[in-house]
Amino acid sequence: METQLESYSTHPAKAVCGEITVPGDKSISHRSIMLGSISRGVTTVTGFLRGEDNMATLNAFRAMGVEIEDDGTTLKIHGRGLHGLSEPEDMLDCGNSGTSIRLLTGLLAGQTFFAVLTGDKYLRKRPMRRVVTPLAAMGATIAGRAGGEKAPLAITGSSLKGISYESPVSSAQVKSAVLLAGLYAEGETKVTEPHLSRDHSERMLRHFGADIEAEGRVVRIRGGRELNGQAIAVPGDISSAAFFMVAGLIVPDSEILIKGVGVNPTRTGILDILRLMGGDISLLNSRDVSGEPVADILVRSSRLKGIEISGDLVPRAIDEFPVISVAAAAAEGKTVISDARELRVKETDRIKAMADNLRLAGVTVDEADDGMTVYGANGFKAFTADSQGDHRIAMSMMIASLLADGECTVHDTGCIATSFPTFLELFKQVSVR
Ligand code: S3P
Bridge partners of 373?
336, 366
Counting ligand 1 atoms within 8 A of each CB, the residue from 173, 321, 390, 415 with the most, and so the one to mutate, is: 173
Residue 2 is assigned to a structural domain of this protein: no
pLDDT by residue (tens digit) across 16-38? 999 999 999 999 999 999 999 99
Residues 107 and 222 in one domain: yes
- Residue nearest atom 10 of ligand 1, based on CA coordinates: 319
- Which pLDDT tens digit goes with each residue over 89-103? 999 999 999 999 999
- Domain containing 241 equals 7-24+235-432
Quick check: is 19 in a domain?
yes
| Residue 40 scores a pLDDT above 70 | yes
- Spatial separation of the C-alpha atoms in residues 403 and 249, rounded to whole Å: 11
Given 233, 256, 279, the domain boundary residue is 233
Confidence band, pLDDT 50/70/90 cuts, at residue 3: very low
- Place 422 in a pLDDT band, splitting at 50, 70 and 90: very high
Strand pairing category for 39-46 and 227-228: parallel
Q: Domain ends where: 233, 252, 283?
A: 233
Residue 184 counted as domain residue = yes
- Co-location of 108 and 203 in the same domain: yes
Query: 187, 205, 233: which is the final residue of a domain?
Result: 233
Statement to judge: residues 82 and 147 lie in one domain: yes
| pLDDT-based confidence at residue 4 (cuts at 50, 70, 90) | low
31 shares its domain with 115: yes
Is residue 113 in some structural domain?
yes
Q: Is residue 69 situated within a structural domain?
A: yes
CB distance 319 to ligand 1 below 6 Å: yes
Any idea which residues carry the catalytic annotation? 319
Counting the structural domains of the chain, the total is 2
User: From ligand 1's centre to the CA of 153, what distance in Å?
Assistant: 19
pTM of the complete model:
0.98
- 142 neighbors 158 (Cβ within 8 angstroms): no
What are the pLDDT digits (tens) for 219-235? 999 999 999 999 999 99
- CA of 172 relative to ligand 1 center, distance in Å: 5
CATH number where 355 lies: 3.65.10.10
Residue 82's pLDDT is what?
A: 98
Domain assignment of residue 249, yes or no: yes
Q: How many CB atoms lie within 10 A of CB 391?
A: 28
User: Are residues 34 and 125 both part of a single domain?
Assistant: yes
**Res. 1: pLDDT tops 70:** no
Tens digits of residue pLDDT in 325-354: 999 999 999 999 999 999 999 999 999 999
Does residue 1 form part of some domain? no
Q: Does residue 72 share a domain with residue 12? A: no
171, 64: one domain? yes
- Clarify whether residues 223 and 254 are in a common domain: no
- Domain co-membership, 156 together with 266: no
289 shares its domain with 224:
no
Q: Read off the pLDDT of residues 248-306 as tens digits, 9 standing for 90 and up.
A: 999 999 999 999 999 999 999 999 999 999 999 999 999 999 889 999 999 999 999 99
Claim to verify: residue 249 and residue 161 sit in the same structural domain: no
Q: Are residues 242 and 337 in the same domain?
A: yes
Is 27 close to ligand 1, i.e. is its CB under 6 Å away? yes
